[in-house]
Amino acid sequence: MRVSRRTFLAGSASATAAAGLAAACSHVEADGPVSSSAPEHKDLATAVVGFDGLRQAGVATATQAHLNLAAFNLKEGVEKPGILRLLRLWTEDARKLCTGSAPVGSLEPEMNAWPANLTITAGIGERVFDLAAPDAKPQWLHDLPAFSRDRLDPAWGQSDLVLQICSDDPLTCAWALRHMTRAGMDYVRPSWVQQGFMNASGSLAEGTTPRNLFGQVDGTVNPRTDEAYEEQVWIDGPGGFAGSTSLVVRRIAMDLDEWEVLDRRSREVVVGRSLADGAPLTGGGEFAPADMEAVDDFGLPVIDKNSHMARAMPPEDHPEQRFRRRPYNYNLPPEPGSGKLSNAGLIFIAYQKDPDRQFTPVQARLDEVDRLNTWITHIGSAVYWVPPGASPSGDAFWGQSVMG
């Protein structure tokens, strides 16, 4: 019989060797800062994003350099009591890891010493509601509709639970994934892991919007104020749902080989923005409003009506079609023998109140027409409820407000 290390070591002093670091670390609130661009380049040895709060960190938090997005499925026979034990245990361990102290049972407490802005954000899939709180399941918590251009690989499909683990240090990210996987092993088995990256911490000036592998400034149009987050992202009720949100994950392959063939101007027309600074092709700088009516000397629209930007922006009568995009690049070696130079893409992560009203209509429009479609293919899809944040003085663990 396997002895659970957690049970075996509970209370052991060795497990808290790194405790105390948290107190010395710089602090940012769990649900802030509100930003989608490069974080302030703090001393990473002491950089901590606060864990506790009404909302989970890792949603509005400025994008860290590394992502491990890990999906898990419940083991056979695990039902509501097991689910609640897992969520409590994961919450406690995530709090420790994110604040730079060693979770109970950690045999390598040294590894927890530099969280480097680590955030661990939990998402709960539809099947967990079916087992633990069927009457409370949000209406929007279901598979996205099939889109005509989807080429979904079930290997990147829906899971029961997901952990979005982000840090500015890749070793911390790997360690946090290893710890959380081991901590949950009595209840869940890993389903997939999606690893992604953005610019290394400090390589972009603070506040700069990062770029994707097509070289585009990606993340310009995003909520940037508390009001915008209230409007687009945070669910306000009922009851235990306050402070929660939803997470849509799409794995999107990007054909870099074919993109190479395009000249620079065409690349800009595809998106409707300049490569130099991400400004709309009607000018004015990255954050200037796009003039969708402007025409050139030939009477043609300056921003192509089928460009990615024109198709993605909310129509006037549906201003609610906006959300927080928090994408990460992936860039794997090409399949041996494929003759391709790349196996790359975007781990497209979107947070919103209600995917049915926000993400899905936008994706339906893009699926119909979007110049970018020639170079991208959606190959994975999943949807989760992201419970409110936890704290020792409030909900003690993720999901307690609704399932506990």
Separation of first and last alpha carbons in the chain: 30
Q: Kindly give the pairing relationship between strand 245-254 and strand 66-74.
A: unpaired
State in angstroms the smallest separation of the CB of 65 from ligand HEM.
Answer: 18
| Residues 123 and 385: beta-carbon distance below 8 Å | yes
State in angstroms the smallest separation of the CB of 309 from ligand HEM.
Answer: 4
Q: Which is nearer to ligand HEM, 15 or 312 (CB)?
A: 312
| Residues 341 and 335: beta-carbon distance below 8 Å | no
Q: Which is nearer to ligand HEM, 42 or 273 (CB)?
A: 273
State in angstroms the smallest separation of the CB of 230 from ligand HEM.
Answer: 18
Q: Kindly give the pairing relationship between strand 245-254 and strand 376-386.
A: antiparallel
The sign one gets for the Cα dihedral 308, 311, 312, 313 is positive
State in angstroms the smallest separation of the CB of 319 from ligand HEM.
Answer: 11
DSSP assignment of 66-133 equals EEEEEEEEEPTT--HHHHHHHHHHHHHHHHHHHTT-PPTT-S-GGGGS--SS-EEEEEE-HHHHHHH-
Q: Which residues contact ligand HEM (rule: CB under 6 A)?
A: 212, 214, 216-221, 250, 252, 254, 271, 273, 278, 308-309, 312-313, 346, 348, 359, 362-363, 366, 376
Q: Which is nearer to ligand HEM, 128 or 253 (CB)?
A: 253
Q: Which is nearer to ligand HEM, 94 or 366 (CB)?
A: 366
Annotated catalytic residue: which of 218, 304, 356, 370?
218
Residues contacting residue 337 through CB under 8 Å, at least 6 positions apart: none
Which residue from 171, 196, 205 is spatially nearest to 41, judged by alpha carbons? 205
Q: Which is nearer to ligand HEM, 67 or 376 (CB)?
A: 376
Q: Which is nearer to ligand HEM, 172 or 307 (CB)?
A: 307
Phi/psi class of residue 219: alpha, beta or left (left: φ > 0; alpha: ψ in -120 to 50)?
left
- Residues composing the chain: 404
State in angstroms the smallest separation of the CB of 150 from ligand HEM.
Answer: 11
State in angstroms the smallest separation of the CB of 232 from ligand HEM.
Answer: 11
Q: Which is nearer to ligand HEM, 102 or 303 (CB)?
A: 303
In whole angstroms, how far apart are CA 220 and each of 36, 199, 263, 286, 309? 8, 15, 23, 7, 11
Distance CA(245)–CA(349), nearest Å, equals 13
What's 166's DSSP letter? E
304 labelled catalytic: no
State in angstroms the smallest separation of the CB of 376 from ligand HEM.
Answer: 4
Residues contacting residue 94 through CB under 8 Å, at least 6 positions apart: 51, 120, 122, 163, 180
What's 246's DSSP letter? E
Q: Which residue numbers are catalytic?
A: 218
